[in-house]
Amino acid sequence: MSVRQILTSLVLSALLCAASSLALAQSAAPKGAKEAAKPAAAEKPAATDKPAAAAKSAAKPEATAAAGGAEPTLIGQFGTWGAYTATPNGKKVCFALAKPSSSKTNPPNRPRDPAYAFVATRPAEKVTNEVSVMIGYALKPGSESSLEVGGAAYAMYTQGDGLWIKNAAEEERMVDAMRKAADVTVKGVSAKGTETIDTFSLKGLSQALDKLAQDCRR
């Protein structure tokens, strides 16, 4: 898969999974966080969505056409993090993207696709700095993963090959910690029971997010 296809897949996956992630997070989020969710997310239960299947479709080359010809544009590279924008279906999306600096599996050397950490802002949906991880394999159904940064661990819910924070009320604190820390560790379990530990360097993330915050206001 080319970089363009991977980035397009990530953009579309985030858009397709947004309703599910917000609906699930609402159960743990305070009133203020719930009000920030799109009405459509509350109208459609997460159980009826099929973001995993949609994400697989998005990985195909035809995804670019499905996104109205949108293609991610690199607007800056900051350390290990690239800052990108795209406009699928006429709606601007800004995101920072990085590959892990190290990856381990238990049992060792199990094959998997590349993993990516992803921090997205979607102004049309009033979503800012939504953290997700495309883990590179099908996660164990119903399993929970964790993201560890700054001495704290945040529960992440899983769907398909993606991870999103379980409690939306904690996301701002988690992003603040990511801005200050040296790295972040993501742990998951595959559908076949393989345990994974991915470490992402956070060098340049703060600058990438600042750049995106400026660009997304335009």
Domains and CATH numbers, the chain: 3-215 (2.60.40.1880)
Q: At what angle do helices 205-215 and 171-180 cross, to 10 degrees?
A: 120
pLDDT at position 76, please? 95
- According to DSSP, residue 139 is labeled B
Helix (H, G, I), strand (E, B) or coil at 78: strand
pLDDT at position 153, please? 96
Spell out, as residue ranges, where the chain has pLDDT lower than 70: 1-70, 218
pLDDT at position 9, please? 52
Residue 60: φ, ψ to 5°:
-80, 155
pLDDT at position 144, please? 82
Helices (H) and strands (E) in the chain, counts: 7, 11
- Give tens-digit pLDDT for 69-85: 468 889 999 999 999 99
pLDDT at position 27, please? 35
pLDDT at position 52, please? 30
- Distance, in Å, from the CA atom of 69 to the CA atom of 63, rounded to the nearest integer, reads 8
> Model-level pTM?
0.71
pLDDT at position 215, please? 87
- Distance, in Å, from the CA atom of 164 to the CA atom of 148, rounded to the nearest integer, reads 13
Strand-pair category, 195-201 with 102-106: antiparallel
pLDDT at position 216, please? 85
